[in-house]
Structure 1
Amino acid sequence: MISECASCGIKADMRCVGCLDAPEYHPGDAISTVYCSRTCQTQHWPQHKVRCHTLSRRIKLLRAAHIFKAALLNYREVLYDIGLERIELQDGALCLHQRLHAVTTRWQIVRFPAHLTTNVEHRDAALLNNQCTLAMALLGRLVRKLLKASTIEVLDIHIGKPRLPTRLVPGPDASQVLHTVLNVRPRLTGETWVVDTAGSQYGFRDVLVPFDKYIADTLGRIVSAPATYDSTETKDLDYYATLGFMNKTEAQQQNLCEERKARLHFARFVDQGVGEEVLRGSTVEWKDKPDEFAAGLKAHLMELVI
């Protein structure tokens, strides 16, 4: 694509790598800056650097959001806890037909039954149904490690317009259940983004969306004020351990113990195998990093089930 050099105005097609392929915050605000030569790029840097730094922060935020979702999906894929038997579209919803188990039954660690669907969106919806609480706890260490230059909050939202709702059958009506997302403000940008790692359960494809656009697209209603994101891997499990109805049987207690072990195993991977370098590189260099991250995490998690 031929455009005009931002420095001298002649026809040019060399794009600034530092801000190439940044996501839009407002429509049209992420168009790449073009130069005809390295000389012009260097001369124009004093005018371009603020915009370049803003767009490069967006790129890192988008990459981090994809890593977060990959972590959550692969955790669920390896350590799936639903007796899923069939996936089908019915009455405008994605129905997940499950086999219920008694509270006296130990949790069996199983791989997600991938043979039930070839549709990636349906698979992700099945993996992430009712998992935003898990997401907030499990991903805490990873989020803070990769987004330490941002202000991060949790936000409870009622989704008024799901693209494709997901329903467990048999199971309770979850249409009024709150959805929890991350409210992220990168430093020095004045921007607020929603990171929605579990949005696939509503048919939402994008894991990173500008805050105002997210609220408009989902007809979201904010239920409570944003709160500081301080979750640990086992925050929800610590709470469940105080609830009598979740600890009535030996099987329930052992299930919570096994889940705690899995969460801490995940945390070790974050501590030992993930650094800020996972977000670096050009678009071409970064392209394979999510798959490499997922493969490494999956191998680590499989140590629990081998």
Structure 2
Amino acid sequence: MTPAYPTQCANCGADATTRCAGCMDAPEYQPGDSVGIVYCNRDCQKGHWTQHKAHCRALGQRKKLLRAAHILKASLLTYREVDFDIDLTKIEFQDGILRLYQNQRAITARSKRGPFPAHLTANIEYKEAALANNQCTTAMALLGRLTRKLLKVGVASTIEELDLHIGKPRTRTKLVPGPDASDCPHTVLKVGRLFSNEAWIVDTAGCQYGFREVLIPWEKYLADKSCRTVSDPATYDATETKDLDYFATLPILNRIRAQREDIKLERQARLHFAGFVNTHVGGDILDGSAAEFKGKLDGFVQGLKLHMRKI
């Protein structure tokens, strides 16, 4: 079996086991193009740097993009977990569909907001699918500030949003009772890494289709999921309340007091989230070893939970 990374020093050819930290754990864009290199000692690593630095920095940018994508997905799910607005009664997987049974509220009643009912499932994939169900529009607005802040400090890139039709989901998630949303477009981010030909999809709400990966090369995403584009890519300039600002202009969504109150409460929660992003996302959040980043991500999630509970 071919080793996951080389075993000979890139500088002198001797047996080596010390992996370059800058290359380590970067995601693949093309098969096999993210394999890092190893050195036998620090002197060899320093001596080889002028030859290696361009490749190392490119893989380092990819790694930071992957870390940013994980933070974005964790932020959406944490936000939803603390401030859930569906009165779920049962979660059941049947005939390839994850069914989310709900007490459907009357149009004159306000939504029931509170923590996600974790007792309904011990399956993390089912929980994430329920949290992300029909949330791609929310994700685009909620995560706008955070996305730009993360990529500004970590990845030189262009950011666009676009709508896709998912032709091959792993699973479907459906509210019962509820409308058939299988033909609804799915909104994702398309991130182009500057000074390269790379284009990536960041899919924070893809877990509603059973997708586990949050960062996938553009062409691979389209092919694996049998996607067709519904809209042309547009510059990603969303604010936390962009969708709510639009909803507030639609008479059909503002006819009764309960609808207006729901929008008001959601706006308050979004702005509260923005406050956390402003004060808790530093320029070094994407740096460090894999273990150090995991600690930062865990701390970020716990801090966000505590913050959102104080609305």
Give the TM-score, by structure 1 length.
0.97
Match of residue 195, structure 1, among 183, 195, 202: 202
SS of the counterpart of 1:11? coil
3-state SS in 1 of match to 2:163: strand
TM-score by length of 2: 0.96
- Determine the structure 1 residue equivalent to 2:80: 76
> Where in structure 2 are the equivalents of 1:1-306 lying within 5 Å?
3-148=7-152, 149-304=156-311
Contact 2:172 2:209 in 1 (8 A): yes
Q: Distance in 2 between matches of 1:234 and 1:135?
A: 11
Structure 2 unmatched ranges of 5 or more: none
C-alpha distance in 1 between matches for 2:290 and 2:109: 48
CA offset at residue 187 of structure 1? Answer: 2.0
CA distance in 2 between counterparts of 1:285 and 1:271 reads: 22
Report the RMSD for the aligned CA atoms in angstroms: 1.0
**CA drift at 1:276:** 2.3
| Matched letter for residue 8 of structure 2 | E
Secondary structure, aligned partner of 2:104 = coil
1:21-53 deviation line (CA, Å, top 9, x unaligned):
111111111111111111111111111001000
For 2:284 and 2:130, the matched residues in 1 are separated by: 31
Identity in percent: 60
What is the number of equivalent residue pairs in this alignment?
304
Question: How many Å apart are 1:223 and its aligned residue?
Answer: 1.4
In structure 1, stretches of 5+ residues that fail to align are none
Alpha-carbon distance, 1:284 to partner: 2.1
Deviation of 1:150 (Å): 1.3
Q: Give per-residue Cα distances to partners, 1:155-203, cap 9 Å, x unaligned.
A: 1100000001101111111110000000001222321100000000000
TM-superposed CA distance for 1:206, in Å, is: 0.3
Distance 1:97 1:200 in 2: 18
- In the alignment, residue 67 of structure 1 is paired with which amino acid? I
Output the CA distance in 1 between the equivalents of 2:290 and 2:133.
31
Deviations 1:43-72 (A, max 9, x none): 111110010000000110000000000100
How far, CA to CA, are the matches of 1:199 and 1:108 in structure 2?
Answer: 24
User: CA–CA distance in 2 between the matches of 1:166 and 1:268?
Assistant: 31
In structure 2, what residue type is equivalent to 1:245?
I
Conserved 8 A contact 2:86-2:113: no
Moved more, 81-90 or 283-292: 283-292
Q: For the residues of structure 1 that align with 2:28 and 2:272, how far apart are their CA atoms?
A: 36
